[in-house]
Structure 1
Amino acid sequence: MHGKIIRYSISIGSGVVTNASKKIFELRKESWHDTRFLPAVGMYVEFRCDSNGYSITDAKASNYQDFPPEALIKEIDFWKTDTDEELKQKEQDLQNQITQKIYKETNYATLRAIAASSSVQDCLKEYFAREFNTIKFILEDNDTQHSSKINYLSTKRFLLKAMDYLVFTDRNITMDTFASDLQKLNKLEYSYKNFTKNKNINFEKIYESCFLDLQYNYRGAIKAILSTKEKILQLNNKIKGSIYEIKQIKTKLENKKNDEKNLHTKLESIKLTIKKSEEEISALRQTLQNLTHLSEEFKREHFLTFKAVFKRFYELLINKTIEAMDICASSFDDKIWKLGMGSMAIKNMFFKHNINESYCAMTFLGQYLRRLDKNKLSENEKATYNYYYQYKQTHEKKFLIFTTNQKLEMALKIQIMSLSKNYSVMIVKKDGEFYTHINQQKFELGYIDPYVDADIKQLIEEAKSSKYNTDTRFAIVSKEQIATLKD
């Protein structure tokens, strides 16, 4: 029967469907059998139940998800039917009515061209409407101008690891916090996998259902072709019947026992009928030839366009889906970073291991890559490795902290990395380390503990004269600030 999902949780894999009578049915992920879409709230579905009439045993997304004013099928039609097959039949009946109207109003004997009822682009937009709408909704709901988007396909494993570790470590944060983000990403990845695995696309089949079925002028011409063939067949049968009558009349004339005058009159009438039928057949054959040529040309020419545009749409959808995944993953990662940097549990558990990068997916990815043997990387690992370091070179900003005070180190580290997930810190405890690092890399800002065992003035002068940190500002932490630090 037909229904609509009113509640669904991807994290627990269950939800609720209601039908036209507002009856409630239980939907579990094991009962979902759709290769194109994941279940989502608001989705119209086609489903079957078990004998208890409550639990759904088989469900999939309905082919009818939107009911715009200009559509042939209205939402009320959806609720009045049990299956998409019934809806499709109703839609075909309405399409046939339109075709019949065009057929009656068109003079096919003088037709010189078949006009497209809908463009290839419009038909394909309708065909991929759900995919485009999903991407549009997600892009509208997220920051598309994200300055440092992450690559979802490269970081997925570490994005989920960062989330899992956060939920496990901080009992105040649950999976429900990320349910919306996970659902968006699962939807997009589901579509992406479906796009990329369909290598052998049956263009002819899609062309028939997506384009030709909506070409009412073309369908009218096809109907005219069939009707013309039927008329020619009828006229040929009529001629055969007339020829048989002529033979009978001639037999009667040979007997010379019948009314010859009436027979001759009837004979001439039949011959005239044959002549008119032959003339009509000739005209019909010309019409048939013209209509066949026009319909074949229409089908052939538009198929070439359809195939080319379909490929462009397909490629565009794949690229847009990847873009949407990256945007969603970046927003997801931002949420993890903000929650992680504000979590006391993460501060005490994660950052106590001398980790000097923000709590985010790229930090977990970096930890993984540093454990690999660089001489034994697979092709995928090499690609991920290159992506990671390119991302770091583009977006990472480093801050220097010179202190031996653990409290100050942690306080400054958390303060800095809470400003941006692309901020990292370099901790130095001796003046020799300080000089080494300022001569090797650029720092956005340096913090110096006033209690360090070194000449602070000389440290700053050396930094200002270095190759990379001429313009870098160095701040000396106040003694009052240090005195207020808590564990």
Structure 2
Amino acid sequence: MHGKIMVYIDDTGRGTVINLAKTFFEFNKHAWHDKRSMPTVGMLVEFRSDGKHITDLRPSKFQEFGENDFIKERDFWKTNSDDELEDLKLARRDTYVQELYRETNYDELDKIILNLTIPQAIQMYFYNETLSLNAIRDININTDEAPYTLDFFVVKRFLYKALDTLLFSDNTINQADFSAMKNIIVHLEMAYKDIKDKQNHIDMKRLYTEIFLSHQCHYQALIASIDNRKNRRLALERQMSTLISDIKTKQSRLEIETGKKHQELQKLIEEKKQKLLEVKNELEYFSKSIERLENLKRSFNEKNFAIFANTFNMAREKLFDKIKQGLNICATKLDVQIWKKSLKSAGIKNSYFKNAIEISFCTLSFAELYLNRLNKHALNPNDQLLFSYIKKVKKECEKNFLIVSANPEVYVNMKIQIFEMSPYYVVKHAPKKVNYQGLMKNTEFDVVYVDEKTIWAPAADVILEGKYFLKKDSKTKFKIL
């Protein structure tokens, strides 16, 4: 059946579809069978049901109906499937092509009118990919929360590792909070793979014929006219051959006939010659007409194929880049969600922040923990790429903080406060003098927090001792807790 999605809730993956009879059908995300898009309110769909619940649901190929389209929205509602609607569309288009053929004066035709422009044809072809991109139109990234946009394909495995660890460590967190973003990523990634796979197997001439020429009714009518004229030319050539043969036969008989029979044959030969002249003139007309129309057809194809190929490649590359950017945006937004929820999670505080972890709970932290276990001199190409990527992010976003305190609670609480500022801040801990001296000697800190209640000497002395290790142009600040 055909219908429209009236309700869809991302968090639960449940929704409602209405059909022509105003009957409502319920569905869940398991009934959705399209990898390149996701359900949205107002989407026209094709579905099957067991009476009340939908068992199979997918977006219809027909979502918009223009003023000049062969089918209207009322046709969508009156048909049960996209195949039925497509057949209706083709039947009406064929009827229209026949009307154009009958009404057009091809002796005066000098231009083929477009029924569908090249950009419109390409837009229709990439409709599902565009639909996937529409899901991220309203997703904005706050640069204060995410100072760096992640590269989805570099950090993908660690993004999902961070999410799985968060959900495992804190069962009070609702998995549905992440479902909408995960669904968008799944469909964008599928669109990305589709375009990437097609890049190596593009038959531009086939695409040009299928998604552009097939919609050009005036062009199709011209083809019909050329075919009919070729058939007429072939018939005239056969008729001309028959007349010539007939004239030769009668001329040979003329030599042996006399009297009235001779005169009758002579008259008949003259009539045949006159008919032959008429056929010859008509044949010449159709030959010239066919040549002119073939040139018009060839000129149309040469011009539009070049434009189509160029426009298609540009559109594909632009769409490909947008999908990659969309995946990066979604990965960053999902990472921000993970990072924010981790900061408020008691489970993460007890299992992660209380340990000697110096980095926030986020995607790059898991990537960095992974790399720390590897031999940096024997990295495979993927890990080498990851290593270079993390270095780049840290160079642009990382700040170093030091907490000088022997109180674990003060250290953990202060560490979480710093992590709340940015997911890319690093917090080190100096509970003793030896730790403090070693860290100040080897690391340039942005801020050093001194807990005056638990340190080994007065705060002023500790700060003075720390400044001893600073470089001349150091901008390190000291703050007393």
- The two structures have a TM-score, normalised by structure 2, of 0.84
The change in CA–CA distance for 1:230 and 1:336 in structure 2 (over 3 A counts) is same
Alignment of 1:400-411 (within 5 A): 400-411=402-413
Range that drifts further, 232-241 or 203-212: 232-241
- What is the Cα-based RMSD across aligned positions, in Å? 3.5
- 1:342 and 1:408 map into 2 onto residues whose CA distance is 17
Shift of 1:126: 2.4
- 1:408 and 1:454 map into 2 onto residues whose CA distance is 18
Shift of 1:29: 7.3
- 1:15 and 1:203 map into 2 onto residues whose CA distance is 39
Q: Indicate whether 1:224 and 2:222 are aligned.
A: no
- Residue 129 of structure 2 aligns with which residue? 131
Q: Indicate whether 1:473 and 2:481 are aligned.
A: no
- Residue 206 of structure 1 aligns with which residue? 207
The change in CA–CA distance for 1:70 and 1:116 in structure 2 (over 3 A counts) is closer
Shift of 1:61: 3.8
- Residue 140 of structure 1 aligns with which residue? 138
Contact 2:192 2:324 in 1 (8 A): yes
The change in CA–CA distance for 1:270 and 1:427 in structure 2 (over 3 A counts) is same
Shift of 1:218: 2.2
- Report sequence identity in percent: 32
Contact 1:464 1:471 in 2 (8 A): no
Contact 1:438 1:469 in 2 (8 A): no
Shift of 1:62: 2.9
- Residue 305 of structure 2 aligns with which residue? 303
- 1:178 and 1:311 map into 2 onto residues whose CA distance is 35
- Residue 449 of structure 1 aligns with which residue? 451
Contact 1:99 1:220 in 2 (8 A): yes
- 1:476 and 1:281 map into 2 onto residues whose CA distance is 104
- 2:188 and 2:300 map into 1 onto residues whose CA distance is 36
Contact 1:440 1:468 in 2 (8 A): no
Aligned with residue 415 of structure 1, among 409, 414, 417: 417
- Residue 157 of structure 1 aligns with which residue? 157
The change in CA–CA distance for 1:457 and 1:71 in structure 2 (over 3 A counts) is farther
- The two structures have a TM-score, normalised by structure 1, of 0.83
- 2:41 and 2:158 map into 1 onto residues whose CA distance is 28
Range that drifts further, 300-309 or 332-341: 300-309
Range that drifts further, 64-73 or 266-275: 266-275
Shift of 1:114: 3.6
Range that drifts further, 23-32 or 443-452: 23-32
The change in CA–CA distance for 1:95 and 1:470 in structure 2 (over 3 A counts) is same
The code of the aligned residue for 1:470 comes to S
**SS state at 1:399 partner:** strand
- Residue 88 of structure 2 aligns with which residue? 90
Range that drifts further, 228-237 or 376-385: 228-237
**SS state at 2:442 partner:** coil
Shift of 1:271: 4.3
Alignment of 1:88-487 (within 5 A): 88-143=86-141, 147-198=147-198, 199-236=200-237, 239=240, 271-451=273-453, 452-461=455-464, 463-464=466-467, 466-467=470-471, 470-477=474-481
Shift of 1:405: 0.7
Contact 1:439 1:468 in 2 (8 A): no
The code of the aligned residue for 1:196 comes to K
The change in CA–CA distance for 1:84 and 1:387 in structure 2 (over 3 A counts) is same
The change in CA–CA distance for 1:58 and 1:265 in structure 2 (over 3 A counts) is farther
Residues 38-95 of structure 1 deviation map (CA, whole Å, 9 limit, x = unaligned): 666654444556xx66777766543223335554433322222223222222222343
Residues 373-412 of structure 1 deviation map (CA, whole Å, 9 limit, x = unaligned): 3344222122112212221222122221111111110110
- 1:412 and 1:205 map into 2 onto residues whose CA distance is 64
Residues 242-264 of structure 1 deviation map (CA, whole Å, 9 limit, x = unaligned): 67987999889958678978x97
